[in-house]
Amino acid sequence: MELAPGAVHVPGWLTPRQQRELVAACRAWATGPVPIRHTRLPHGGVMSVQTVCIGWHWQPYKYTRTAGDVNGQRVAEFPRWMVELGRRALLEAYGDESTSTRYTPDTALINFYDGQARLGMHQDKDERSTAPVVSLSIGDTCVFRVGNTETRTKPYTDIELASGDLFVFGGPSRYIYHGVPKVYEGTADPVTGLASGRLNITMRVTGLTD
Ligand code: MD3
Ligand code: FE
């Protein structure tokens, strides 16, 4: 369903098997060269969400190859299979073969939410590309707040994102304010391999080169 121009939600897009494979891959990245951590914000705050990045490392408010705020190591590479998954996601959401085959995400932010974690309303503006963002959710269901491009406050729409859901944000929705005000703890189906919590993978195009 299209929530706003360019914002397309596809419930249950990932099969249980794909979800299990993604959970396994994310586990390996979470314990890889740059371990998953609570990102520290420049003004002293700490995010309740835990994040690990691949391809490029995001820290507020830039992308680098190495994680200067964690351990200085280079992040794991962005795998080819994830580029293909991103293209299939775009094709599913927009149905446009030529746009999807040109889509080449080079980074993913992998967020892990326990039952208390939240993500405040924000825009994603650190990428130097206007290409769409592909979001995949696994595990506990959450409330996802889709706002507007002008303010971090009303008007907004609250929807639920559940395990296996795909969301693509492109076009006029690329710079929309959005956040995660609540996670419904214990709603995950353990067949995904996640015993508890919520995993969200967002693929992006940084627009950067080395
Ligand atoms: C709309 N993640 O990583 S996914 C983020 O569930 C982020 O972890 C949330 O917001 C999460 O920046 C929401 C949906 C999403 C992701 C990126 C977007 C929506 C977006 C970028 C632009 C517009
Ligand atoms: Fe975001």
Name the residue ranges covered by the structural domains of the chain: 2-204
Per-residue confidence (pLDDT) for residue 196, from 0 to 100? 95
Q: What is 2-204's CATH superfamily? A: Alpha-ketoglutarate-dependent dioxygenase AlkB-like (2.60.120.590)
The ipTM is 0.98
CA of 78 to the centre of ligand 1 (A): 18
Report if pTM > 0.90.
Answer: yes
Gap between the Cα atoms of 68 and 71, Å rounded? 6
How confident is the chain (210 residues) per 10-residue block, as mean pLDDT?
A: 96 98 98 98 96 97 97 98 98 96 98 98 98 98 97 97 98 98 97 96 97
Six-digit token string for 58: 């995001």
Ligand 1 neighbours (beta carbon < 6 A): 109, 111, 119, 124, 133, 135, 167, 169, 174, 176, 178, 180, 200, 202
3-state helix, strand, coil in the chain (%, to 5): 20, 35, 45
Hey, which of 133, 145, 177 would you mutate to test ligand 1's pocket, going by the most ligand atoms within 8 Å of its Cβ?
133
Strand arrangement, sheet containing 46-54: 2-4, 7-10, 166-169, 133-139, 198-204, 107-113, 46-54, 37-40
Query: DSSP alpha helices (H): ranges in 4-51?
Result: 16-30
CA of 31 to the centre of ligand 2 (A): 23
Six-digit token string for 163: 């395990």
Per-residue confidence (pLDDT) for residue 19, from 0 to 100? 98
The SS3 of residue 146 is strand
